Structure 1
Amino acid sequence: MRMLTCCLICLVGWLQYHLWLGKNGLLEYYEIRDNSAVTEQANAKLSQRNQQMFAEIADLKRGQEAIEERARNELGMIKPGETFYRIASE
């Protein structure tokens, strides 16, 4: 009976070791779960950025207003006959 008890204790100890620390154990599971959460957040940010870029591309393909706005803001272009005023603050 004593031998059976020792064998069962060793078996339970061995199973607990593999459950917690072994390959594909709980510690590895928690680490992978945390990594996947971080990856999902990064993917959500990138997806949102992609949607904004797709909207901007569609806007550029559809109308002249977006092209004109971009030329004014980024390149400093003005239409013929317009007067451009730059206000400098000190």
Structure 2
Amino acid sequence: MKIVTYVLIGILVLLQYPLWFGSGGVLAVWRLNREIAAQQQENVQLTDRNQALEADVADLKQGLQAIEERARMELGMVKKGETFYQVIEEPRAKPTSTKKNLP
């Protein structure tokens, strides 16, 4: 009776191995689900970026305000008749340490 029990347990283990560790097993499915979740998150980020780029393209095609804003911010351009003021801050002096060196 003991031998039959051991044989049945051995067969059960052999049948369970592909279920857990095979190419379509539980561990493989779990890993694929994690990869799918990561890919979906990346797709959401890329979709948001694409929508922002599409909005920029539409702004550039529609009017001059977006072009003017980019020229001002990226190229430092000013309109005719405008006065440009550049404020330069002086570097702050570093505070001196009040600690005394003790021997």
TM-score, normalised on structure 2? 0.77
RMSD over equivalenced CA pairs, Å: 1.7
The residue number in structure 2 matching 1:39 is 39
Aligned length: 90
SS at match of 2:33: helix
Which has the higher relative contact order, 1 or 2, with Cα contacts under 8 A spaced 6 or more apart? 1
Task: Quote the Cα distance in structure 2 between the aligned partners of 1:9 and 1:39.
Answer: 40
The residue number in structure 1 matching 2:24 is 24
Deviations 1:30-81 (A, max 9, x none): 1111111111111111110000000010011001100000100001111111
Task: Quote the Cα distance in structure 2 between the aligned partners of 1:34 and 1:16.
Answer: 23
Task: Quote the Cα distance in structure 2 between the aligned partners of 1:68 and 1:35.
Answer: 43
Identical aligned residues as a percent: 48
Task: Quote the Cα distance in structure 2 between the aligned partners of 1:9 and 1:23.
Answer: 23
Task: Quote the Cα distance in structure 1 between the aligned partners of 2:13 and 2:79.
Answer: 81
Gaps of 5+ in 2: 91-103
Following superposition, which runs of at least 4 residues in structure 1 exceed 4 angstroms of deviation?
1-7
The residue number in structure 1 matching 2:84 is 84
